[in-house]
Amino acid sequence: MKLPVVRVEPSLRQTLSIGHPWIYRTQLHDEPNRESGSWVEVRAGNFSAIGLWDDEGAIAIRLFSRSLLPDARWLRARVQEAWLAREPLRRTETTAYRWLYGESEGVPGLTVDLYGPFAVIRSYASSLEGLVEPVSDALRAATPLQGIVWRRHRGEGSEEGNEHTSVDAGKVQLLWGQLPPEDLIVREHGLQFRANLLQGQKTGLFLDQRENRKLLAEYARGRSMLNCFAYTGAFGVYALRGGATTVTSCDLAAAAAEESRSNLLLNGYDPDAHPFMVTDCFDLLGEFVQRKRSFDMVVLDPPSFAHSRRQLPGALRAYGRLNTLGIQCVAPGGLLATASCTAQVGLDEFRSMLAGAAQAAGRRLIIIHEAGQPLDHPVAAHFPEGRYLKFVLTRVLPLV
């Protein structure tokens, strides 16, 4: 099958030849007269590859293969590769995880999350809609399922930090099988959580923090915890399993309080013993600082503060303010667990921000653990943009 040829700057040859999948519209010599979602052949000097044309977004072409047209058989192979790579997770009493991570696993612009017998496909551009059905078929070929749901998203990229990734309201549909129940129960390391795949943030749970939640449980015994931006309360549930004495949670969304209560009950904990405050986390932390209230462990897991490089300075200021307040709420010798899902903020920038926050708070911070994404959110060597999550566990000490 002969494809229309799109020529780009020869200077892109090195970047593209190592596998980077994005070509921006500004890098094109000319635009093909093709419908969005059409396959094209890209040439940069003596380099060539096959990509999917998009006539709307900043990303004009997403590259899939060096030589093979990505048909149903090709997509099935990518889905099966990803399925086999998650085998270690399936041995940990875990039934919810990312099955396919877009650019990092050869299918740019698409992700798949698995929640028990239900799969959620997310697409990030209208040009990808033609791939959704064959990917759905590939999922069913890999393992028995009860239903597959498709959630369209607006904006560029395929993960939290790449660009705007909000759910396109009203664009959630059943592709195959039955709709998942609103009270679907899944497991993480043996703990139970409720997941709403149709209306929840992301696709139901923040799957990328699973291993970090498990880590904090190991430090929780005998400690009180303040869990900010709690959403489902999952960090708190893990902490209680690890022996935490009390968990105080905070989130601006009223629905989060109900989610948290449900998850505490599911795992045998009394939600009335662990308060949930529906309020702005910045305001609550400021109030606690004024009242000199402290906790043995503070968790800061905010949403992304930036969706483009232009927003980076503001994001760093917001992280600095948040972490300064959080540090001041940690009892001497206690722990601060802080995270960023803003891809535009690198780990070095995040560490530098923490140093400044500690200085502003009049404390010392000792980093005792750093982590990123778990194995179901792999980062391809040729696509560093796929690394967005920073998680830093620190000990907070007084100045000496």
- 87 and 26, same domain (yes or no): no
pLDDT greater than 60 at residue 273: yes
The tally of domains found in the chain comes to 3
- 28 and 59, same domain (yes or no): yes
- 38 and 89, same domain (yes or no): no
Could you give the CA distance from residue 172 to residue 170 in angstroms, rounded to a whole number?
6
8-state DSSP, 280: -
- 166 and 43, same domain (yes or no): no
**pLDDT tens for each residue of 142-201:** 999 999 999 987 655 444 334 334 444 447 899 999 999 988 999 999 999 999 998 866
- 266 and 388, same domain (yes or no): yes
- Cα–Cα distances (Å) from 5 to 32, 53, 328, in that order, read 8, 11, 58
Q: Tokens 């409720």, residue? A: 194
- 83 and 166, same domain (yes or no): yes
- 262 and 334, same domain (yes or no): yes
- 90 and 51, same domain (yes or no): no
In-domain check, residue 195: no
Instruction: With beta carbons less than 8 A apart as the criterion, state whether 114 and 146 touch.
Output: no
Strand partners, 184: 195
- 366 and 225, same domain (yes or no): yes
Could you give the CA distance from residue 14 to residue 7 in angstroms, rounded to a whole number?
15
- 58 and 81, same domain (yes or no): no
Structure tokens at 163: 């660009």
- 275 and 252, same domain (yes or no): yes
- 323 and 358, same domain (yes or no): yes
**pLDDT value of position 169:** 44
Confidence at 105, pLDDT banded by 50, 70, 90: very high
Please state the pTM of the whole predicted model: 0.93
Cα angle: 107, vertex 205, 263; to 5 degrees: 160
Strand partners, 390: 340
Taking residues 21-27, what's their average pLDDT? 95
- Domain with residue 99: its CATH number is 3.30.750.80
- The domain containing residue 281 runs over which residues? 206-398
**pLDDT value of position 31:** 83
- Domain with residue 19: its CATH number is 2.30.130.10
In-domain check, residue 313: yes
- Cα–Cα distances (Å) from 14 to 51, 58, 132, in that order, read 17, 21, 30
Confidence at 32, pLDDT banded by 50, 70, 90: confident
